[in-house]
Amino acid sequence: MLKVPTYVAESPIGGLGVFAGRDIEEGELVWEFHPKTVWTLTEKEVQSLPERLQNLIYTYSYLFEGQWYFCVDNSRFMNHSDQANTLEDKSGVRGASNPLGRDRAVRKILKDEELTCNYKEFDQNWKDKLPS
């Protein structure tokens, strides 16, 4: 669940992106897993959905250890960057490979700047999402 105000708009990275609704300070908590805002689905559950919903899940979810995680808030529009302005913070989270983490700003993020994350850090499906 996003912990800061955001909005969705066209992204220079591609498609839609999520943008900061205010300045975000370095180290500030940007996103945190909350079970009411992230649907967790197995591949079998995804395959049982109509094709248009499968496409939605595959496009806007991340895959971790056989589970698809679909965020229902604006965070599903967060685009990839190798120099992302957010970073996963697993301190205080059960297990080093736990997908139920949180993201913090790695530097000051200005209002109207696009929020980015590094898909390679948490999404086992990143190769299918990113251009070669």
DSSP one-letter string for 84-128: -SEEEE-TTSSSTT-S--EEEESS-B-TTPBPEE-GGGT-TTHHH
- Answer yes or no: is 1 within a domain: no
pLDDT in tens, 1-48: 999 999 999 999 999 999 999 999 999 999 998 889 999 999 999 999
- pLDDT given for residue 97 in this prediction: 47
Total domains, the chain: 1
In angstroms, rounded to a whole number, what is the distance separating the alpha carbons of residues 76 and 18? 8
Domain coverage including residue 84: 6-128
CA Rg, the chain, in Å? 14
CA atoms within 13 A on the CB side of 82: 2
CB atoms within 10 A of CB 33: 16
- Answer yes or no: is 107 within a domain: yes
When pLDDT is averaged across residues 70-85 and rounded to a whole number, the result is: 95
- Answer yes or no: is 96 within a domain: yes
Q: Residue 52 belongs to a domain with what CATH number?
A: 2.170.270.10
